[in-house]
Amino acid sequence: MILQVKDLEVYYGSIRALQGISFYVDKGEIVTLIGANGAGKSTTLRTISGLLIPRQGEIYFQGQKINRTPAHQIVRMGISHVPEGRQIFPNLTVMENLLMGAYTRRNRSEVQESLEEVLNRFPRLRERAKQLAGTLSGGEQQMLAMGRGLMSKPTLLVLDEPSMGLSPLLVEEIFEIIKNINQQGTTVLLVEQNAYMALQIAHRAYVLETGRIVLSGTSAEVQANPQIRSAYLGEVEEGA
Amino acid sequence: GGQGKTETQGASGEKVIKIGFIAPLTGDVKTFGESAQKGFDLALEQAGYKAGDFKIEPVKADDRNDATEAVNVATKLITQDGVKAIVGSLTSLTTIPISKFANDNKVVLITGTATSPKVTVDEGKRKEYIFRACFIDPTQGTVAAKFALEELKLKTAAILYDQGNDYTIGLANNFKEAFTAGGGQVLTMEAYAKNDTDFSAVLTNIAKKNPDILYLPDYYQKVSLIGKQARDKGIKAVFIGGDGWDSSDLDYKTMEGGYFTNHYSAQDPRPEVQNWVKQFKEKYGQEPDAFATLTYDATNLLLNAIKTANSDDPAKIKEALQNTKDFSIVSGEKVSFDENGNPIKPVTILKIEGGKQKFVTAIKPN
Amino acid sequence: MEHFLEQVLNGLQLGLMYALIALGYTMVYGVVQLINFAHGDVFMVGAFLGYFGFAVWGLPLPVAILTAMVACALLGVIIERVAYRPLRYAPKIAALISAIGVSLFLEYFSSLKFVFGPNYRVVPRPFPEVHWNIAGLSVSNIQVIVFVVVLFMLILLQILIYRTKTGMAMRTVAVDHNAARLMGVNVDTTISITFAIGSAFAALGGVLYAIAYPQIHPFMGIMPGLKAFTAAVLGGIGIIPGAVLGALIMGQVETLTSAYISSQMRDAIAFAILILVLLFRPTGLLGRTETEKV
Amino acid sequence: MKLSRNTFFYFAGAVFFFALVKAMQFSGMLTPYWQLVLDQALIIVIGALGLSIIYGFTGQFSLGHAAFYGLGAYTAGALDKVYGNGNMLFFFLSLLTGAAVAGLVALLIGLPILRLRSDYLGIATLGFGIIVRVGMENGNKLFPVLGGATGMSGTPQVAHFDLIFILTLIVILLVRNFIFSTYGRACTSIREDEIAADVMGIDTTRYKVMAFVLGCALAGLAGGIYAHRYPFLHPASFDFLKSFDFLLIVVLGGLGSMTGTIVTAVGWVFLLEVLRVVLGQNFIDWRGVIYALILVVSIIVRPQGLFSGKELRLLIPDHLKMLTGKEHTHAGSGN
Amino acid sequence: MPVLEISNLAKTFGGLKAVNNFSLSLDEGEIVGLIGPNGAGKTTVFNLITGLYKPTAGTIHFCEEDITGLPPFKISQRGIARTFQNIRLFKGNTVLDNVRAVFHPRIKYNFFDALLRTPRYNAEEAKVTREALELLEALNLAHRANEKAANLAYGDQRRLEIARALATHPKLLLLDEPAAGMNPAEVKRMVELVRYIKERFKLTILLIEHQMGMVMNLCERLVVMDFGQIIATGTPLEIRNNPVVLEAYLGKGATVA
Ligand SMILES: Nc1ncnc2c1ncn2[C@@H]1O[C@H](COP(=O)(O)OP(=O)(O)OP(=O)(O)O)[C@@H](O)[C@H]1O
Ligand SMILES: Nc1ncnc2c1ncn2[C@@H]1O[C@H](COP(=O)(O)OP(=O)(O)OP(=O)(O)O)[C@@H](O)[C@H]1O
Ligand SMILES: [Mg+2]
Ligand SMILES: [Mg+2]
């Protein structure tokens, strides 16, 4: 178990966004969290990466308790979180953004290696290396965010809706990349609206509803669940 | 505010008169206000907090050198604390509005240092309850011009003044008028703003004109800065200024050789002067400046009037003040008031020499 | 002509003085997007500490300056901790109000008797002033020192911000704290460093200012602070070379206006020019004119 | 036009307050000093409401408000001094002229500079304030009556509580009516997102300028009243540091809240005077220190301001109340 | 008669030709999909139509009238409304006021009516409020009318943006990725919604969307852009089988619901 979350409760002011959720991620897995808008997926990820402090519950990463560790230290421990809405640095160039991803790494040649790797994965970014990131289109920004996330060579890559706003071709590509990254040994925790695709590449899935986990299992099991098919995959016609 | 209140309610049944004191005790000219306060305190202390049959109870207030606050504070002192007379405030900016209020409410007000003619006379009408211990703006400018022309025999002048301060504007304008009338030539008149620290542009212009005199009618801290930069620019002119120079914080080294008009000279052997300087030094460990001296004089003039009237009726105190005859204060022997509430006293001219103020002459203004 | 050149030199000196303050101002703004109105007052505290250092306690000048810089760096960090950090995620204007409060606090507190006191103090020259005559123009050693220091600060800041990791961290913090955190940046530390450097530079500026214009008092920071900030805006706020450019222009405008148009109108004309420049370049001379990407 | 229910209660409240003040005056509880402070507070309320429109509701950062306050003061003061004779008609005419002049100047300067954004706009307005101050210092060269740097005295002191109170009531009502109209909504949408407002059909330039002109005219009106209540006008009373006073009132009150602006304006004026009384003579030099501390602490405790975006029920139009709970929200934190 | 007629539109940023030689004509009542890879220039086209960007070349006619270079608010008043790729609501204002604000150009009382609360003001305010509430009702947001827009859930915010756009009484509605970040079930509901509003408000719609489920279901005609230029147009069926589009945009395994 590389990541374990126990009875997590998180509040925004007085709003209880997470109502006690527990789940785990094993080494080498892709685990996906799916759920409607506002279910608490992003909140879960933000709590894991230390941006939010839980009121209740525990988070263990590689056996270490991290629910009170500040975000900048969690990065060093090996969790890289690619946030929802990209959050790239618009006033930095594409290259600088990528280098920021390796902010915690000291070994220059290794960083250079990762950079090459990322630029090969996203040739578009190489073309735009000197452009200010703020003027990239939506999809380009998403690629940049992913690339930046990979630059820290994480043990656990946490992805929040990486396919949002991307063209179908790129969505496919992104999922390819995720699979690829995973095959090369990085564990992935993936939040996706695009439940089809997510379930296709994930080993296991959890379904979140208003701050609770309502279903879990292997991807196949979850995908087979009729309620899930209607609520998240839109396959059964509902009453208008 | 409360000091002394308990005493007044004591069994003695003494008669009490409250005197207000208004000055900038906070803000950027707090240092002036504190000097004035020292003068006020020392005067009361020397009088044993008594004038005639009356015990003096001072009520102090801060106006932050702000016209609005000054009016608020004067209203408080007059309508709430029941003061019968006020010493203050320091600058014309605050004293003009409170003098109107005091006069309307028939409370005596005497300012140590507010020089604008508008303090005592406005729109051609004399505010009967208002007096001052200093010269009005025209006096010093005129005397300085006369002195420069007749005694120093200097013929050309440049003037540099603060465009936002009516004290310096008043002196500058009157110096110019008198100097020109007396046959001198004002080569240039330049202004700066209150918070300026760099005067190099205008000083460069002045240096080119090479005047005999650089007239600097501002307070000590500003003229020190200007003087320094003027010398750096190679200006050889004699510096001349007004009572604003009178402070131990003046940069004596820079201002060496300059002359300024003042109310008195610390070397004047008169006991009033010597006592004042000595006691001030003893009590506060420093030399008194113009703010302290004039406020001290103003307070003493007021105390004398209360004693003479022996009444706490402001109308009577006002009468007594107006009729002050040959009263000796630090800034003048045998002082009386003219019909506008301005003291009739000679202007002293001092020279900065060897890092000290040196008495040169005293001139009676006409 | 020589006269004109002399005025230009006067303007240069004034401009460099503004640049001295504007650099720190603009750097802090660049990172935290806060008009730190207290900057001018930290500058004042620096001037006082420097003065006490070399004129009262008799420290050698470099030691006095260093002491002032370290003390002000600390002061800057404390101000940020106490007055700005609690407001970090509040609307920007809240921190601005806090900054006005801190500015007033430093002014009024400093003018208390047991602190610096309200007096205007004359600052003695810590070293003799030397004038050189170069092509008919008089140049003083103080002017040269100020020039060198501004240049040094400018280069140092450029290197710091664009060539170091800390600088990159600052630039990310400038945009988005959470995203910066996710990169492993310690946001609190980065902001503290920013304030420390900005305030240390303010102190350095303060001491030099007090040597050039040898008089200090608790309210001395207001006007230079305001002018320096204006200069920073003129050059494009948050942009380091912009601060110097803006400051030099302000210096020239003020000086040449005083010299050739009217000394009464100086501030009016200086600010009128500022407004005019902004109308044509709404984000300052070197500011990026960004069309917001919709 | 029928009086709506809450307008009725608004006036009822006003009458009650007025009666209270009169009773306190009569019984001597309200000394002329506190009366003056109250009058000053009302004057500041009017001026601050002006900035509230400009910044609180329309989001245009202005650091030059005191300049317009001064323009109104000088215009109204000089007019009444020269042409008036203590006559009420002239008093009102001069007030209106003062407001109009401030508004007109705002129009001329606002048209070009309101294109600027946030801090750039702030510094431009601040600069304009300094230009106005230089103008005041040299105004006597054109019109000797203005007195220039030596200040202007002799303005007729005809404003008193009754008049100021009625004017304040009217201003509050008019500002309320403005805010809760389509014009007010146009303004708040500009504050929230100028680009979206533009794309949704709102002429942003026009309403930014309108808000600026209105707000500055109110500052001018307040200035005019000041000139008739305080006997001396001096450029120093209207310099840029005074603009900060208006700004902090509006922010501490809570952006986008008239109620907040009104309460804080009154509170601010009284705070300064109460501190004077509380500290007594011996600690008077702590006044500035404590004032500064109160400022910092209050903004830290309530960064969104006292009433951010909330209004007293009294100020909300009836037809909106039916939709709402106790408090109506019509604005955000507007950062 | 075409509602919108764009000819040879171009926009460059520095050296980048974001839109180039772009021509498009929309007939009344059409729903046309504008698709293409990220960075193709789709949003830029919207920005050009709505006046946020001034075109480098080309003209835009709306209902026969040349609107090229008009300021955004005037274009809106002519009858073009839009939503934004990154939601841009009046966040601090209430849901109701988000909608009411944009009634502004059509309000029939003047400044003095407002200041004096004349009967005209009262009547008109009541009317505007009623209409706004009806719109919110139609988009299933009426129950949140007095909530701050910022407090709405993401999906509600998307719908509020549509409600606000409708409140300008547009003839032409430009939707920029309305279903972004929604799961397939939610996308389906969005499709229903767009159909519904198109009928009810008699709209012509230009739709940018990457979710093929939405585009293929809704649109009669698709325009595909790449590198600022149109690379293909046609019915969904044609586009789905267009090799160029497959290559540039859809990808081989195009999943279409
Ligand atoms: N900063 C915040 N302040 C207050 N409430 C918030 C904040 N962020 C999220 N919430 C609330 O917390 C709940 C969970 O939000 P979260 O962003 O985690 O949802 P999500 O599952 O990621 O949805 P989406 O698919 O829209 O990204 C929602 O009800 C949301 O409104
Ligand atoms: N304001 C701007 N300044 C500079 N470049 C810009 C600007 N706006 C857009 N661009 C560039 O124009 C190109 C087209 O951008 P646009 O946003 O129109 O793409 P898009 O087709 O909407 O993409 P997506 O589907 O990802 O939203 C991009 O390469 C982008 O970098
Ligand atoms: Mg999310
Ligand atoms: Mg787009």
DSSP one-letter string for D95-155: HHHHHHHHHHHHHHHHHHHTTS-HHHHHHHHHHHHHHHHHHHHHGGGT-GGG-GGG-EE--
Cβ atoms within 10 A of the Cβ of D166, count?
12
Ligand 2 site, residue E38, Cβ cutoff 6 A: yes
Rounded distance, CA C182 to CA A116, Å? 22
CA distances D2 to B324, D322, E217, Å, are 68, 18, 54
- Buried residues in E145-182 as b, exposed as e (16+ CB within 10 A): bbbbbeebebbbbbbbbbbbbbbbbbbbbbbbbbbbbb
- Residue B12 phi/psi, 5-degree rounding, is -55, -30
- Residue B94 near residue B32, CB atoms below 8 Å: no
Q: What is the pLDDT of residue C1?
A: 60
Structural domain containing residue C211: 16-221
- Chains touching chain D at 3 or more Cβ pairs under 8 angstroms? B, C, E
In chain A, which residues have their Cβ closer than 8 Å to the Cβ of E248? 169
Rounded distance, CA E222 to CA E34, Å? 6
Query: Residue C213: which of C120, C137, C151 has the closest Cα?
Result: C120
Q: What percent helix, strand, coil does chain B show, rounded to 5?
A: 40, 25, 35
For the segment B220-227, the average pLDDT, to the nearest whole number, is 92
Cβ atoms within 10 A of the Cβ of D326, count?
7
Q: What is the pLDDT of residue A226?
A: 86
Mutate to test the interface with C, among D51, D57, D123, D195 (most CBs of C within 10 A): D123
Q: What is the pLDDT of residue A228?
A: 82
For the segment C241-245, the average pLDDT, to the nearest whole number, is 95
- The reply to whether C291 falls in a domain is no
B4: pLDDT strictly greater than 80: no
Q: Which of B142-156, D7-21, E159-173 has the lowest mean pLDDT?
A: D7-21
Chain E residue at shortest CA distance from A34 = E183
Q: B6 pLDDT band (50/70/90 cuts)?
A: very low
Number of residue pairs across C and E with CB atoms under 8 Å? 8
E189: pLDDT strictly greater than 70: yes
What DSSP character marks residue E142? G
Tell me the percentage of chain B whose pLDDT exceeds 90.
65
Ligand 2 atom having least distance to the Cα of C290: 1
In chain C, which residues have their Cβ closer than 8 Å to the Cβ of D288? 104, 107-108, 111
B172: pLDDT strictly greater than 70: yes
Q: Which of B160-169, B273-282, C244-253 has the lowest mean pLDDT?
A: B160-169
Rounded distance, CA C196 to CA C209, Å? 20
**Residue closest by Cα to atom 12 of ligand 1:** A17
In chain A, which residues have their Cβ closer than 8 Å to the Cβ of C184? 72-73, 75-76, 103-104, 152
**Residue closest by Cα to atom 17 of ligand 1:** A42
Tell me the percentage of chain B whose pLDDT exceeds 70.
96
Q: What is the pLDDT of residues B66-116, one digit of tens each?
A: 999 999 999 999 999 999 999 988 998 999 999 999 999 999 999 999 988
Q: What is the pLDDT of residues B303-314, one digit of tens each?
A: 999 999 999 999
Rounded distance, CA E144 to CA E130, Å? 15
The CATH 3.40.50.300 domain(s) of chain A lie at 3-78+154-233
Q: Are strands A3-12 and A56-61 parallel, antiparallel or unpaired?
A: antiparallel
- Test C268 with D134 for CB contact under 8 angstroms: yes
Structure tokens at C58: 């008799």
Q: A196 pLDDT band (50/70/90 cuts)?
A: confident
Structure tokens at D315: 């100020």
Number of residue pairs across B and C with CB atoms under 8 Å? 88
Q: Which of A145-149, A209-213, C289-293, E225-229 has the lowest mean pLDDT?
A: C289-293
Q: What is the pLDDT of residue A240?
A: 33
**Sign of torsion, CA D85 D89 D91 D94?**
negative
Q: What is the pLDDT of residue D319?
A: 57
Q: What is the pLDDT of residue C63?
A: 96
Q: Which of A29-33, B64-68, C259-263 has the lowest mean pLDDT?
A: C259-263
Query: Residue D270: which of D19, D36, D28, D31 has the closest Cα?
Result: D36
The CATH class, in words, for A3-78+154-233 is: alpha beta
Cross-strand partners of D311:
D328
Rounded distance, CA B364 to CA B347, Å? 6
- Residue A65 near residue C155, CB atoms below 8 Å: no
Contact map slice: B 135-164 vs C, CB within 8 A:
163
Between CA C122 and CA C129, with CA C127 as vertex, the angle to 5 degrees is 85
10 Å CB burial of residue A160 (0-12, 13-18, 19+) is buried
- D60 touching E (Cβ < 8 Å): no
For the segment C228-237, the average pLDDT, to the nearest whole number, is 92
10 Å CB burial of residue C135 (0-12, 13-18, 19+) is exposed
Higher-pLDDT residue of A13, D180: D180
Tell me the percentage of chain E whose pLDDT exceeds 70.
98
Q: What is the pLDDT of residue D189?
A: 96
Minimum-distance CB partner of C186 among A72, A81, A152: A72
Q: What is the pLDDT of residue D325?
A: 39
Rounded distance, CA E16 to CA B264, Å? 79
DSSP letters spanning B187-245: EEEEEE-TT----HHHHHHHHHH--SEEEE-S-HHHHHHHHHHHHHTT--PEEEE-GGG
- How long a stretch of residues is chain B? 366
Rounded to the nearest angstrom, the gap between the alpha carbon of residue D316 and the centroid of all alpha carbons in its chain is: 20
| Residue to substitute in A91, A127, A131, A135 for testing ligand 2 pocket (most ligand atoms within 8 angstroms of CB) | A135
CA distances A164 to A138, A194, A198, D277, E183, Å, are 9, 8, 12, 62, 10
CATH number of D5-329: 1.10.3470
For the segment C203-208, the average pLDDT, to the nearest whole number, is 95
What mean pLDDT value characterizes chain E?
91
Rounded to the nearest angstrom, the gap between the alpha carbon of residue B4 and the centroid of all alpha carbons in its chain is: 28
Q: Are strands C137-140 and B356-363 parallel, antiparallel or unpaired?
A: unpaired
- C178 touching E (Cβ < 8 Å): no
HSE toward the beta carbon, residue E60, CA cutoff 13 A: 25
Q: Is E65 helix (H, G, I), strand (E, B) or coil?
A: strand
Domains contained in chain C, number:
1
Q: What is the pLDDT of residue D317?
A: 66
In chain C, which residues have their Cβ closer than 8 Å to the Cβ of A99? 168
**Residues 6 or more apart whose Cβ sits within 8 Å of residue B151:** B360, B361
Q: What is the pLDDT of residue D287?
A: 92
Rounded distance, CA B296 to CA B40, Å? 5
Q: What is the pLDDT of residues D232-241, one digit of tens each?
A: 999 999 989 9
Ligand 2 atom having least distance to the Cα of E42: 21
Q: What is the pLDDT of residue D280?
A: 83
Q: E154 pLDDT band (50/70/90 cuts)?
A: confident
C-alpha distance across the termini of chain C, in Å: 52
- The reply to whether C268 falls in a domain is no
**Residues 6 or more apart whose Cβ sits within 8 Å of residue C138:** B234, C6, C131, C132
DSSP letters spanning A45-77: HHHHTTSS--SEEEEEETTEE-TTS-HHHHHHH
Q: What is the pLDDT of residues C178-187, one digit of tens each?
A: 999 999 999 9
Rounded distance, CA D59 to CA D66, Å? 18
C41: pLDDT strictly greater than 70: yes
- Test C214 with B225 for CB contact under 8 angstroms: yes
Structure tokens at E93: 């204002």
Please give the single-letter amino acid code of residue D110: G
Q: What is the pLDDT of residue C87?
A: 95
Q: What is the pLDDT of residue B12?
A: 56
**Residues 6 or more apart whose Cβ sits within 8 Å of residue E130:** none
Q: What percent helix, strand, coil does chain E show, rounded to 5?
A: 40, 25, 35
* Of the ranges A16-20, C212-216, D196-200, E110-114, the best mean pLDDT one: D196-200
| Strand boundaries in B81-212, DSSP class E | 85-88, 108-111, 121-122, 125-126, 130-132, 156-162, 185-192
- Residue D223 near residue D69, CB atoms below 8 Å: yes
Based on its alpha-carbon atoms, the radius of gyration of chain E, rounded to whole angstroms, reads 19
In chain C, which residues have their Cβ closer than 8 Å to the Cβ of E47? 294
Ligand 1 site, residue A96, Cβ cutoff 6 A: no
Residues of chain D with pLDDT under 50: 1, 322, 324-335
Query: Residue E80: which of D201, D195, D203, C294 has the closest Cα?
Result: D201
**Residues 6 or more apart whose Cβ sits within 8 Å of residue B41:** none
